[in-house]
Structure 1
């Protein structure tokens, strides 16, 4: 790489490994510092000798760009603390990026990279009205979650991310999502961590106990459970009932009265989970069988009906060449706001 005619970088950049996805989504990188001044134009020339490499099918990709500033992290945190101490509300955006989360390689840690945890703690100490926006695509550790006024999970936004985030933070729009994953307090609490293939195969020793089901079996309390999510109003769920029996090919109708007990319109998600006591087959502690979003004005209430097909009570019998089978008898339906937040329950018989 030449900058203004001067050769600044000249070396091989080999890729270690044979994973095609990692080669493109998390490629090796080299960089060189270049002192610049505002308004200065630089002539940059990059040359690469193409060598056919059958390891990756002869495919080649380039990414060129700039690295983040190498400023002292302590100075950056101090500047943020100074600004936060003078503000009515502090908004701190933390998260990951495509170099941390990728389809091409596994993560080795659930901690936020860099000094982001230090940043949040320092800002929260300077301003108790600190809102943390987590810009990530999958669970991360948030050891400071109880030290801040609010945590908003925004996932990875698109080109309108800034406008959408402003609408949510100012209350023009309500955050209405619910977690499709379980978020741990610490990575060591995650019940299934061994996901590395051996000789090209991954062993699913957990069986049907995957995702939130593994958490339920382990009995470990996460930071935020599957199905969790808050908005800008409060809710109550009561009067849970269901059709008492169901036959194969039919469905159970679960009903409940949902009320917006807050002072503004909002959205709630009523969730239904099933369980079976004394089952003759290996089942999850509870498993999701239905849900329904509800939107109500302040003080309003409504009855919601959720259809749960009998197929939701079936289990797989006979391995790879088996089929779906039914264990007749009684099942319990748990109705609430998450996999652990139960407002009521009812029993139904699979006849």
Structure 2
């Protein structure tokens, strides 16, 4: 972005339903903070007895089956000590949680033991089957001050299960200042507002409770928009969420939980180095009640596919229901046009060849995904209005045109005959639609299929 751009970061709220894993960026093995994480020292015995058997820099504090570095088949006992420094970014009360499978753990900050043998513990279940101990503590800390920190875990031989040595360290920082975030938004030339799932919202072993963004994030979006209309909303979720503010936002970028390199990818997209080219693999409804599964979920410990063959976009097209963003939707920094769609069906047998011209009519190099939907006008059974049958992603420079060819095979025309007990093809009239989403269809051509 160059030296003329100043980036101001503020947290508008805490959207985590439970304390997340302790932030490794606040930890360092060195008081100078030239590195991140803590130094881990493994002992082959419980109680930190003997010499250090293994040493490494560690930054991940959600541990499962982690004693294998020093355990032996004859003796599964071991212990680990992590040490270094902790530097908080905010003044206030910090909540720490230790969830562990053994009895002997310790957390100390600033030479004060916060969690130890005398700390009351509660029982909880991991994956609904593994019993864990949970200990909590709170400490008031000063922003920018460097505190010594030490974590300890000791596993005795008589309680050891190799695969289920579990040690999790969680931390909730003080509540962010909403006023500071809104003030920063009002003073900025533009705002990048990040919303999305907490670290435990979308995970193994549970369902989301709602399609809404948690913790009042929708209200925060509205308040930031009021403070600065030049706001792009970055949505970091792994599934659709309701966006009641979507029509008021100049730009929305769906990130899909991109992982460790997501920040680098986001920088390339926002700076214009590359153009967005993703497509939605699911429909985003306006609200959860619009979803085809709404009448059947949660059910009674069984998954009922009450919508039948009208799954996803097929249902919305069948009932003609408006959606927030349709299946296959996704914009770029350019514009594209489809022309000269032609279909040539085989003289015998259910196959067809499609060709079309795709042109980048915009001013930026970008990639677009052409989608082919097939409308079955021959079969008398209840069928979806259209179904995706082919797609292709093509990158074009401004003004460039390319011809694309698609082949529709027998399987693309087949439907399952429950009475006949097999897949069959109905001869007759079909329509091929070409477009950029299930609701953005730019060209159509009808043709006849013979068996």
- Could you tell me the TM-score, scaled by structure 1's length? 0.86
Show the counterpart of 1:62. 166
Are 1:299 and 2:399 counterparts?
yes
Deviation at 1:272, TM superposition (A): 0.7
Distance 1:285 1:29 in 2: 53
Show the counterpart of 1:12. 122
Q: Secondary structure at the match of 1:92?
A: strand
Deviations 1:151-187 (A, max 9, x none): 0111111222111101100100111111110011111
Distance 1:29 1:259 in 2: 60
Deviation at 1:101, TM superposition (A): 1.0
| Larger strand fraction of residues | 2
Distance 2:129 2:229 in 1: 43
Q: How does 1:72-111 map to 2 (within 5 A)?
A: 76-111=177-212
Unaligned runs of 5+ in 2: 1-104
Name the CA shift for 1:22/1:178 in 2 (closer, same or farther; >3 Å): farther
Name the CA shift for 1:82/1:256 in 2 (closer, same or farther; >3 Å): same
Show the counterpart of 2:340. 239
Q: How does 1:190-229 map to 2 (within 5 A)?
A: 190-193=291-294, 194-196=296-298, 198=300, 201-229=302-330
Distance 2:345 2:152 in 1: 74
Contact 2:378 2:427 in 1 (8 A): no
Name the CA shift for 1:33/1:313 in 2 (closer, same or farther; >3 Å): same
Deviations 1:203-225 (A, max 9, x none): 22221111111222232111000
Q: How does 1:38-57 map to 2 (within 5 A)?
A: 38-45=145-152
Name the CA shift for 1:237/1:121 in 2 (closer, same or farther; >3 Å): same
Name the CA shift for 1:70/1:273 in 2 (closer, same or farther; >3 Å): same
Name the CA shift for 1:239/1:49 in 2 (closer, same or farther; >3 Å): same
Bigger mean CA deviation after superposition, 136-145 or 211-220: 211-220
Name the CA shift for 1:59/1:78 in 2 (closer, same or farther; >3 Å): same
Distance 2:345 2:241 in 1: 42
Unaligned runs of 5+ in 1: none
Contact 1:240 1:255 in 2 (8 A): yes
Name the CA shift for 1:63/1:169 in 2 (closer, same or farther; >3 Å): farther
Distance 1:127 1:51 in 2: 61
Bigger mean CA deviation after superposition, 253-262 or 94-103: 94-103
Contact 1:245 1:349 in 2 (8 A): no
State how many pairs are aligned. Answer: 335
Show the counterpart of 2:380. 280
Contact 2:378 2:430 in 1 (8 A): no
Question: 2:215 pairs with 99, 107, 114, which one?
Answer: 114
Deviation at 1:28, TM superposition (A): 9.7
Show the counterpart of 1:347. 446
Question: 2:289 pairs with 188, 206, 216, which one?
Answer: 188
Show the counterpart of 1:32. 137
Are 1:166 and 2:267 counterparts?
yes
Name the CA shift for 1:58/1:108 in 2 (closer, same or farther; >3 Å): farther
Contact 2:292 2:307 in 1 (8 A): no
Larger gyration radius, structure 1 or structure 2:
2
Show the counterpart of 1:335. 434
Distance 1:122 1:310 in 2: 53
Deviation at 1:196, TM superposition (A): 3.5
Distance 2:333 2:150 in 1: 52
Q: Secondary structure at the match of 1:84?
A: helix
Distance 1:21 1:331 in 2: 49
Deviations 1:247-273 (A, max 9, x none): 44x631111221111111111111111
Name the CA shift for 1:21/1:209 in 2 (closer, same or farther; >3 Å): farther
Distance 1:29 1:116 in 2: 29
Show the counterpart of 1:137. 238
Deviation at 1:44, TM superposition (A): 4.5
Show the counterpart of 1:254. 354
Distance 2:245 2:347 in 1: 47
Are 1:326 and 2:425 counterparts?
yes
Q: Secondary structure at the match of 2:188?
A: coil
Distance 1:213 1:263 in 2: 34
Deviation at 1:228, TM superposition (A): 0.4
Q: Secondary structure at the match of 2:380?
A: coil
Distance 2:158 2:139 in 1: 28
Bigger mean CA deviation after superposition, 30-39 or 182-191: 30-39
Distance 2:256 2:335 in 1: 23
